[in-house]
Chains A and B, each alone.
Chain A
Amino acid sequence: MNFLLASGDNPLGHVVDRNITAEWAKLPESASAWRLTQDSGVPVSCLVIIVSGILVTWLLWRAAKAIETGPSSQGINRFVTKGRLGQFVEAIVVALRDQMLNPMMGEKQTRRYLPFLLSMFFFLLVVNLFGLMPFADIQHMLKNQLGGPHMEEYILFGGTATANLMVTGGLATISFVVIQIHSIRELGVGGWLEHLCGGHELVAGPKGLWLVVPIIFVVEFLGLFIKPAALAIRLFANMVGGHTLMATLLMFGAMAAKAGLANWAVGTITVASGAFALIIFFLEVFVAFLQAFIFMFLTAVFISTMSHHDDEHAHEHDEAHGHPAEAAH
Chain B
Amino acid sequence: MSVTLASIVTLASEGASPELIKVDSLPAITAVVVFLVAFTVLATVVWPKITKGLDERNEKILSEIRAAEAAQAKAKAAQAEFEKRLEEARAEADRTVRAARAEAERQAEELRARAAKELEDMKNRATQELEGAKRAALSEIHAMAAGLATTVAGKILKREIQAGDQRRLVEESLSELSAR
A36 within 8 Å of B by Cβ? no
Give how many B residues have a beta carbon under 8 Å from the other chain's beta carbons: 48
CB of A13 within 8 A of CB of B35, answer no
A115 within 8 Å of B by Cβ? yes
- Nearest 6 Cβ contacts at the A-B interface: A170-B28, A170-B31, A53-B34, A328-B61, A64-B49, A16-B18
B86 within 8 Å of A by Cβ? no
Q: How far is the CB of B62 from chain A (nearest CB, A)?
A: 5
Q: Which of A63, A69, A166 contacts B56 (CB 8 A)?
A: A69
CB of A328 within 8 A of CB of B26, answer no
CB of B36 within 8 A of CB of A174, answer yes
For the complex, would chain A's binding face be called helix, strand, loop or mixed by DSSP majority? Answer: helix
Chain A residues with Cβ under 8 A from B22's Cβ? 17, 164, 166
For the complex, would chain B's binding face be called helix, strand, loop or mixed by DSSP majority? Answer: helix
CB of A67 within 8 A of CB of B45, answer no
- With A53-B37, A56-B42 given, name 7 new contacts (CB 8 A): A8-B15, A10-B15, A16-B19, A41-B1, A166-B25, A167-B27, A327-B62
B51 within 8 Å of A by Cβ? yes
Q: How far is the CB of B31 from chain A (nearest CB, A)?
A: 4
Chain A residues with Cβ under 8 A from B54's Cβ? 67, 90, 93-94
Q: Which of B13, B18, B47 contacts A115 (CB 8 A)?
A: B47
B46 within 8 Å of A by Cβ? yes
Contact with B along A48-83 (1 / 0, CB 8 A): 011011101100110111011100000000010100
Q: Decide yes or no: A89 and B41 within 8 Å by CB, A9-B11, A13-B18, A161-B31 being known contacts.
A: no
CB of A328 within 8 A of CB of B32, answer no
Q: Decide yes or no: A119 and B47 within 8 Å by CB, A12-B20, A79-B57, A166-B23 being known contacts.
A: yes
**What is the interface of chain B, defined by CB distance below 8 A to chain A?**
1-2, 9, 11, 13-16, 18-32, 34-39, 41-43, 45-47, 49-54, 56-58, 60-62, 65
CB of A166 within 8 A of CB of B15, answer no
Q: How many angstroms from the CA of A120 to the CA of B39 in the assembled complex? A: 8
Q: How far is the CB of A34 from chain B (nearest CB, A)?
A: 23
Chain A residues with Cβ under 8 A from B27's Cβ? 17, 43, 45-46, 49, 161, 164, 166-167, 170
A171 within 8 Å of B by Cβ? yes
Q: Decide yes or no: A166 and B28 within 8 Å by CB, A50-B34, A67-B53 being known contacts.
A: yes
Q: How far is the CB of A85 from chain B (nearest CB, A)?
A: 12
Chain A residues with Cβ under 8 A from B11's Cβ? 9-12
Q: Which of A16, A90, A174 contacts B20 (CB 8 A)?
A: A16
Q: Which of A8, A45, A57, A324 contacts B41 (CB 8 A)?
A: A57
CB of B35 within 8 A of CB of A53, answer yes
Among A9, A89, A115, A123, the most chain B Cβ lie within 10 Å of the Cβ of A115
Chain A residues with Cβ under 8 A from B41's Cβ? 57, 61
Chain A residues with Cβ under 8 A from B18's Cβ? 10, 12-13, 15-16, 153
Q: Which of B19, B31, B39, B51 contacts A49 (CB 8 A)?
A: B31
Q: List 22 A-B contacts (CB under 8 A).
A: A9-B14, A11-B11, A15-B20, A41-B1, A41-B26, A49-B31, A53-B37, A68-B53, A90-B50, A90-B54, A93-B50, A119-B42, A123-B35, A123-B38, A123-B39, A166-B24, A169-B28, A170-B27, A170-B28, A170-B29, A240-B20, A324-B62
